[in-house]
Every structure is written in C-alpha cells, then in structure tokens.
Structure 1
Amino acid sequence: MWDWFSAEWFSLAKLRAFSWAHPYFLYGILVIPIAFWLRQAFHAGAFQRLGITFVNSDTPKSISVWLRLLYPISGFLALSCLLIALARPQSVNILTERDAEVIDIMLALDISESMRDKDLPPSRLTSAKAVAKSFIAGRLQDRIGLVIFAGEAFTLCPLTNDYELLYGFLDEVNHKQISIAGTAVGSALAVCINRLRESASKSKVVVLLSDGESTAGNLDPITAAKLAKAFGVRVYAVAIGRAVPKQAVAVSDSLILSSSETAPDEGTLQQIAKATNGRFYRATDNTALKNIFSQIDNLERVKVKNRRYQEVKDFYRVYLDWTLAFFLLMMFLKVIFIANVLED
C-alpha cells in the first residue's frame, strides 16, 4: 500500500527506465515555473498585507525565507506529479515466442571396420562425426537421436533436444563399441523406425550414413525401408567413400583387392531412399559430405513464426498518490496562520 512513498520514484535512473505513453505532458513541467512567475508578477500589488514584527529576533532570517517557499514548492511538485501521471510511465517487457513444428531426426552411423578408411581424411568415421555435429548445431528445437551399427545396431542416444548430450555421445563413438563384424543396414533402419514410430511429429526423418554393403542383421534393408514408409519415416541415405569404377572390377580383381578402401554399396542405399520418398547422396570427399548435410538441413527446415508480446505495467497511480500528497500539503499550508504571515 505504501510502495509509492519513496524518493526513489523521482530519481533520474528511475525516470529514464520508464517508457512513456504520452511523453509530451512532461514538457508541461517546464511551463509551471513560468506560470508561477506570471501569477506573482500580475498579482504582486493586489493583496493587502499585515505587517507583523517577530518578537524573537534570534530567529534566522533564512528560516523564514525557506518556510515561505514551502507553499509554492508543494504546488509545483503537485502539478509536476500530475503531469508525470498523465504522461503514463510504464515498464515494457518484450517477450518473443518461437512457434515451430518440431522434426524428429534419427542419425544412423555406420561404425564398421571399413569406416576407418582414410579416403575422407582423417577417416570416414571421423569426418562423418564432425559433419553430424555441425548439422545438429544448426537445428532449432528438433529432437535428434543417434543409432550406431556394424554387425548389429543399437540406440546410443534416444530422441532428445539436449544437443550437448548428443555432442558427448558423438565424441565417444568408435569402432570398438560393436565387436560383431559386418554392416547391418536393415537392423539400423529398424532401430530408427522403432524410435520414431510413436513420435507425434508430422516430420520423421532418418539420416543413414554407411559405406558398405549390408552383410549382417536379421532384416533385409528393402523390407526395413517399406516399414519406414508405412510409419511415415523419410530416409536420407548417404554413401560415404569413393566408388570403385565398374570397369576396374571387370578388368582386374587384383586392383580392388590391393586397395585398402571399400566401395560403398550405392544400390541398396538408393533403393532405401526411393522407397521412403527420401533422397540418396554420395559423399566422395569431406566437402561433398558437408554439402550433403547442408542440403538435408535445408530440406528439413520448418517455418518458424516469431510472436512478440509486450508485457506493460503502468506506474501512473504512484505519481497520482504523490500528487494528492503534495496537494494536501499545499492546502494545509494555505489554511494555517503561519502561511499567511510568511507571505509578507
């Protein structure tokens, strides 16, 4: 109730912090002294005054001068507070809400032995991890999960929007996490589908990164792709590594055998992407891999609507209370005898 009774309301810092709905009323404060001066000038000889001599000559003259100013000062402050109240001091807090449809994305990362090849330096797996982290950093509020696979597949991180947690899991990914050899593309896709099938999101995506032919797992990749389509999951398949020309295979098997690099199985990945209305990409170097993730990022980008709210709090009542207080003080000084005496 007495929150208004503080000199802080008249501090320069407080007044500067306000937003003013009608700031032009503040200019009226400059007019008040002029109005007081004009009143004094036009009515200086209009009143009869009673000459009184104070008996106590020890009373300092300065005290009587200051007491004489109480009445006009209280009037000035009352009018100033009224003008401040009319100017509507406010505190405005702008709130921004982002309205975006969340996309659920599962990253399926091949960690088989062939991902140690260095045609994408320093290695296929290391490059894939680095680009995946950049991809995650560019998302907004989307839930992202991580599945790793080799001869079998399992979820390393479920769907989450805690991207720092995802970065930690990606940093720990290595070839030793799955001891079973092979590349279980179908199983990896099935694990991703299992994580996405109960998602309420309208957009469900799997980004599948692999460099080898599906040689393990209990589920055929094409069958898994059909399941993905049935659950509304779109697959972006990325073949990592340089493809070996078919001519080289036909002419000399020794050429392939002498190479330490494993050619990606593009045929299976292409069929998976086509069956799920997704897209197939080939990453033959680090630059291509970054471009691929940029394209996927743009394809799976929802429109974000920013809604801005203004939370407005008025403080004119504080200055109306001060107006009333100074007005009552002025009336009190007007009716008491000493106010009339001090007019002389």
Structure 2
Amino acid sequence: MLDESVYKWFSLEWFTPSAFKSFDWEFFFVFYTIPVVLLLFLLKWLIGTRVKQKLPVALPKKEIQKHWTSYLRFIPNALMALTLLMLLIALARPQRTNELVEQWSEGIDIALVIDISESMQIEDFKPNRLEAAKRTARDFISGRSQDRIGLVIFSGDAYSLSPLTTDYELLYKFIDEEIDFNKIENRGTAIGSAIAVGTNRMRESEAASKVMILLSDGDNTAGNIDPITAAELAAAYDIKIYTIGIGKEGKVPYGKDFFGRTNYVENTLDETTLREIAKIGSGQFYRVSDNEALANVFELIDQYEKAEIKETRYKNTTDFYPIYVKWGLLFFLLFLASKSTFVSNILED
C-alpha cells in the first residue's frame, strides 16, 4: 500500500531540494536531456523573432513605453516548459525504497572464566592484572551481538557469577561491581574446579558452538578436581577451551613496603598445564605479558568465534512518478487555456 503522501500530489513539497534528495532515480540519465529541451526553446525564440510578422507603427520615441502586460506573452511558453520538465522528472522514475533486513544466527555460548586469586593484584599490568582482565572482558562482551555469555570466577574455589545470558548490561554490572579479590574467601588457584563449573553451566546448551575462555596467572593449587580431568570432561560436551596465561616471567612488582618502595616477587606460571588444557579442548594457549597483548588475544578470539549470521532482505519500493505526471497534465491544460486567450496574442513591441 502506498504512503498517504503519494495522494497529496498537489503539495509544493514535491519540488523542494529535500524531496529530490530523498528519491532514488531509476533512470537518472533522463535529466541530461534538459539542456536539449532548453536549447529547443532558445531556437524557437530565435526563429520566431526573425519570421514573425511585425506591424510597423510610427510613434514619437517619447511615447514608446513597455507595458507590464507585454510580459504575459511568455506565460504559454513557460507553461509548456514546465509541462516538459514534469514529464522528464516522471521519466526519470523517482522512487523511495525501504529495505528490511532480517538477521538470525547460530548463536555461540561463551563462558569467561577469570582468576581472582591474590596474585592477580600484581602490577605488571596497569593498574593490576585483575583490573586489566576486567577491562578486556568488558570490551570483548561489547563486541558480541547475539551470543550468550556467562561469568565464572575462581581462586581457592570456583563460583558461577552469572549464567549464560544476552543481557550484556547485567554482565557489565557484574564485572564492575562483583569481581574483586574478596569475593571468594578460600585462597589458592582452583583451575580444575573453575573449568568444571564452566562446563556445568554449558553442558545443557544447544548452541552451535560452545566456548570457554580461561584466564589465569598461576599454578593449580586448590580445588578437588584435576585440571586435565576437568578439561577432558569439557571436551566430552564439545566445549572449546582457550587458555590465557597472564603475567611476565621473573620478578614482578607487587605492592609497596613501609617506606613506599615497590616490592618485587618471583612470578611462576604452570604454562604446561594451560597448554594441555587448550589442546584437549581443541582451542589455543596464549601467554600475555602486558595490557596490549591481553587485548590483542581477546580480539583474536573474537575473530575466531563469530556466529554464522544469515540475512534475508526485503525491498519495498514506492514510485512517485504519477505525482509529476499529474503536475505535467495540469501545466499542459493551463498551456492550452492560455493559448486560447488574449495572452498569446499580445502585440510585441
């Protein structure tokens, strides 16, 4: 059904620049004929001035005055020019197209498993490892569109902070307000338990792809399940696991002493176990040593794990050429009327 504005063809808004800019012109090349039409009118005028009969009248020069009615003789030509212009606009086929795009995707379920143990306070990342991880996780979530994402945190125990959800604002709130070093009392690093909790969240998922991103900076020192066993359990549920080892090798800054001087501690990371977990989970292991490297890894994973989005496009095209045909007909009728009156018979001086 055409828009109501189509029937308001008499409105002068159809001749405004904004109206013309809003159109899609199917045959825009028609406008290139306008100079030809103008040239034809010019030739008609030149020929007419030479062949038209003139009535010689002898009058004193001071009595020769051009009356305003002499300009009325241009009305028929102007009306014919407008008629042709309207027809050219109609031939150019002005249209407006509304395109409706329907998207659907085979969603991905993603579990972000984040270490919040004491060692995540180390300041080789700015301002520290945990804050860098939170910021990067937030950016990662903002880059997704239709995927369900869940949050798991762990230190000496593992805790499911958020179920799989597409409510990204809720996830941002959890990241900003709930993830801190005091959320879990038991100290240590329970990597195996964290993987198990993440698996439990996704084991009933029917998503086309299930992904777990595990971020940790230490060895497995707590929990009641071995990390390798937990990884095998996740693989049984077709969960792909990416592991990220965070932290620099050697001595790293950790707090300040009584005199305000920076303390340094020796950093250790069980890289072998994290590599094996990623291998079992058909994912990849990454080792990062600064904020930029961490962000790059999440961007890489973001590129790897994209949902397959399919589109269906519908075009609803409305033609507006009838409006200009009607205007052309109106101008043509006015032209015929003017040709039948005194207007076209005014003497030229």
Aligned to 2:81: 76
Q: How does 1:214-225 map to 2 (within 5 A)?
A: 214-225=220-231
Partner of 2:239: 233
Question: Among 326, 330, 335, which residue is 2:335 paired with?
Answer: 330
Q: 91-100 vs 8-17, which deviates more?
A: 91-100
Q: Go from structure 1 to structure 2 and tell me whether the alpha carbon gap of 1:331 and 1:234 turns closer, same or farther (over 3 Å shift).
A: same
Are 1:153 and 2:158 counterparts?
yes
User: In 2, Cα distance between the equivalents of 1:33 and 1:76?
Assistant: 8
Give, in angstroms, the shift of residue 284 of structure 1.
4.9
Structure 1 letter corresponding to 2:182: K
Q: 2:132 aligns with which of 97, 118, 127?
A: 127
What is the CA–CA distance in structure 1 between the aligned matches of 2:219 and 2:310, rounded to whole Å?
A: 43
Match of 1:7 among 9, 12, 15: 12
Q: How does 1:90-239 map to 2 (within 5 A)?
A: 90-91=95-96, 102-120=107-125, 122-139=127-144, 141-161=146-166, 163=168, 165-172=170-177, 173-239=179-245
Q: Distance in 1 between matches of 2:194 and 2:346?
A: 96
The residue identity in structure 2 corresponding to 1:180 is N
Asked if structure 2 preserves the Cα contact closer than 8 Å seen for 1:114 and 1:261, the reply is no
Measured after TM superposition, the shift of residue 107 of structure 1 is 0.9
* Cα separation, 2, equivalents of 1:111 and 1:341: 96
Is the 1:242–1:264 contact (alpha carbons within 8 Å) kept by the matching residues of 2? Answer: no
1:177 alignment partner, SS class: coil
Q: What one-letter code is carried by the residue in structure 1 that aligns with 2:156? A: G
Question: Mean alpha-carbon deviation: is it higher for 153-162 or for 91-100?
Answer: 91-100
> CA separation in 1, counterparts of 2:99 and 2:11?
27
Q: Which residue matches 2:258?
A: none
Report the alpha carbon displacement of residue 82 of structure 1 after superposing the two structures with TM: 0.6
Q: Which range moves more in the overlay, 317-326 or 28-37? A: 28-37
**Structure 2 CA distance, aligned partners of 1:113 and 1:13?**
62
Distance 1:76 1:131 in 2: 65
Amino acid at match of 2:210: K
Alignment pair present for 1:89 and 2:66: no
1:110 deviates by 1.2
Partner Cα distance (1:23, 1:285) in 2: 56
**SS of aligned partner of 2:182:** helix
Q: 1:83 to 1:180 in 2, by over 3 A?
A: same
Note the C-alpha offset of 1:96.
Answer: 7.6
Identity score, percent: 46
Q: Which whole-Å deviations, capped at 9, do the CAs of 1:70-125 have from their partners, x for residues lacking one?
A: 33222221111111111222345677888875433211011122323345554332
> Post-superposition shift, 1:233?
0.5
Amino acid at match of 2:228: I
CA distance in 1, matches of 2:44, 2:250: 101
SS of equivalent residue, structure 1 residue 176: coil
The aligned amino acid for 2:243 is: A
State the Cα RMSD in Å: 4.0
Q: How far apart, CA to CA, are the structure 1 residues paired with 2:80 and 2:326?
A: 14
Unaligned runs of 5+ in 1: 50-59, 246-257
Q: Secondary structure at the match of 1:144?
A: strand
The one-letter code sitting in structure 1 at the alignment partner of 2:189 is: T
**2, 10, 35: which one pairs with 2:40?**
35
Relative to structure 2, which stretch is displaced further, 37-46 or 326-335?
37-46
Q: How many residues align?
A: 318
Structure 2 match to 1:65: 70
The alpha carbon displacement at 1:204 in A equals 1.6
* Native 8 Å contact 1:119 1:261 kept in 2: no
Whether the 8 Å contact between 1:183 and 1:214 is mirrored in structure 2 is yes
**Equivalent residue letter for 1:154:** Y
- Paired residues of 2:73 and 2:344 also in contact (CA < 8 A): no
TM-fit CA distance, 1:296:
3.4
Tell me the CA shift for residue 266 of structure 1: 3.7
CA separation of 1:279 and 1:27: change in aligned 2, threshold 3 A:
closer
- Greater Cα offset, 159-168 or 80-89: 159-168
Q: CA separation in 2, counterparts of 1:87 and 1:37?
A: 23
The worse-fitting range, judged by mean Cα deviation, of 147-156 and 9-18 is: 9-18
Structure 1 residues 84 and 287: CA distance shift in structure 2, 3 A: closer
- Structure 2: distance between partners of 1:303 and 1:185: 31
1:66/1:183 CA distance change after superposition, 3 Å: same
TM-score (norm 1): 0.73
**Partner deviation per Cα, 1:292-327 (whole Å, 9 max, x = no partner):** 445434543568789988765432111111111112
